[in-house]
């Protein structure tokens, strides 16, 4: 419970409350998810890192598109991990920009030579840099469900041609700006997922989190080498443990994963800390 705020919704990571003034309070928890399951235990400081990194990016991307942040004046119980933001009519689209080929994009490419209907040159490998960044949207999934890659035409059918074009243009412009900023700090932004909403006057606004290890693939630039999985600053430590014999769990079992060992929790925390400190130049 948070005084003066009504709980509206809890996602995989964030809890959303409506304040008495009509604005929303968005709180980033330390929860971590993988393979569509929320895992135990939590990752200490993760919510603070996600919030502070998002705020750092919102400041640097203001010239590209407006964002939903109203204030960081929040109750002491959630200070550092929460923001006050304006209510928006959210678009039911995960806006993904890819500058490099990996993940589900690599799976699509190997099957069809395309990603979300965008044809790509032959001969690309895991980690290959694309000729230019591409917009590869996905459906927004509920907790426990999986996002599905879709074509641009599917987005047009869902929200209309004008709004689809706006989201594609903004997503790629934000990615281009962010990729250049991160590269100066020795980090490659391989891909990222953005979310947008609409104000009552129709203005499109950047919302939710932005360019965190939860929503992006960050790779250390000095270790980038196409043709293999890249070292990354994200929850890959968790995914690797879950799919290893050590966990005794199969992602096809339908059963919840076992609790994460303390060593996996600490290694994951350090990945998030390293990403934050290397990118921002600040100490956590």
In this predicted structure, what is the pLDDT of residue 196? 98
How far, in Å, CA of 163 to CA of 93, rounded? 11
How far, in Å, CA of 129 to CA of 115, rounded? 14
Closest CA to 187 of 222, 215, 214: 222
State the average pLDDT over residues 23-45: 95
Residue 7 has pLDDT above 60, yes or no: yes
Would you give the end-to-end CA distance of the chain in angstroms? 27
In this predicted structure, what is the pLDDT of residue 4? 85
206 and 66 in contact (C-beta within 8 Å)? yes
Q: pLDDT tens digit string along 100-136?
A: 999 999 999 999 999 999 999 999 999 999 999 999 9
Closest CA to 233 of 195, 187, 264, 192: 187
In this predicted structure, what is the pLDDT of residue 254? 87
Go through the domains of the chain in sequence order and give each one's CATH number.
89-223 (3.30.470.20)
In this predicted structure, what is the pLDDT of residue 142? 57
- pTM (2 decimals)? 0.93
Residue 84 has pLDDT above 90, yes or no: yes
Residue 23: both structure tokens together:
């604005």
In this predicted structure, what is the pLDDT of residue 112? 96
How far, in Å, CA of 7 to CA of 18, rounded? 6
Band of the pLDDT at 145, cuts 50, 70, 90? low
Q: pLDDT tens digit string along 210-232?
A: 999 999 999 999 999 999 999 99
How far, in Å, CA of 218 to CA of 213, rounded? 7
CA 142 to chain centre: 15
State the average pLDDT over residues 72-84: 96
Q: pLDDT tens digit string along 234-252?
A: 888 999 999 999 999 998 8
State the average pLDDT for the chain: 94
Cα dihedral 32, 128, 209, 270 in deg (nearest 10) = 40
State the average pLDDT over residues 257-268: 97
Closest CA to 238 of 269, 284, 202, 211: 269
Residue 154 has pLDDT above 70, yes or no: yes
Q: pLDDT tens digit string along 188-217?
A: 999 999 999 999 999 999 999 999 999 999
Collect all residues with Cβ–Cβ distance below 8 Å to 243 and sequence separation of at least 6. Answer: 251
What percentage of the chain carries pLDDT values higher than 70? 98
How far, in Å, CA of 193 to CA of 97, rounded? 7
State the average pLDDT over residues 43-49: 97
């Amino acid at each position: 419970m948070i005084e003066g705020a009504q709980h509206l919704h809890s996602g995989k990571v964030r809890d959303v409350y409506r304040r008495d003034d009509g604005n929303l309070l968005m709180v980033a928890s330390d929860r971590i998810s993988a393979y569509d399951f929320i895992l135990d235990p939590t990752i200490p400081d993760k919510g603070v890192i996600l919030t502070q990194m998002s705020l750092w990016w919102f400041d640097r991307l203001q010239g590209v598109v407006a964002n939903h942040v109203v204030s960081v004046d929040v109750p002491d119980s959630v200070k550092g991990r929460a923001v006050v933001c304006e209510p928006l009519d959210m678009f039911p689209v995960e806006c993904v920009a890819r500058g490099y080929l990996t993940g589900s994009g690599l799976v699509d490419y190997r099957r069809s030579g395309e990603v979300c209907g965008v044809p790509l040159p032959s001969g690309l490998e895991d980690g290959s840099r694309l000729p230019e960044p591409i917009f590869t949207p996905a459906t927004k999934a509920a907790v426990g469900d999986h996002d599905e890659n879709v074509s641009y035409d599917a987005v047009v059918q869902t929200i209309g041609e004008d709004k689809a074009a706006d989201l594609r243009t903004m997503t790629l412009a934000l990615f281009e700006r962010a990729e250049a900023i991160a590269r100066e700090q020795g980090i490659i932004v391989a891909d990222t997922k953005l979310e947008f909403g609409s104000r009552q006057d129709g203005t499109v606004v950047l919302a939710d989190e932005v360019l965190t290890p939860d929503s992006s693939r960050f790779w250390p630039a000095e270790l980038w080498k196409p043709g293999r999985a890249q070292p990354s600053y994200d929850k890959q430590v968790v995914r690797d443990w879950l799919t290893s014999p050590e966990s005794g769990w199969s992602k096809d079992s339908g059963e919840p994963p076992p609790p994460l060992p303390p060593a996996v929790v600490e290694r994951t925390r350090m990945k998030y800390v390293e990403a934050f400190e290397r990118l921002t130049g600040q100490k956590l």
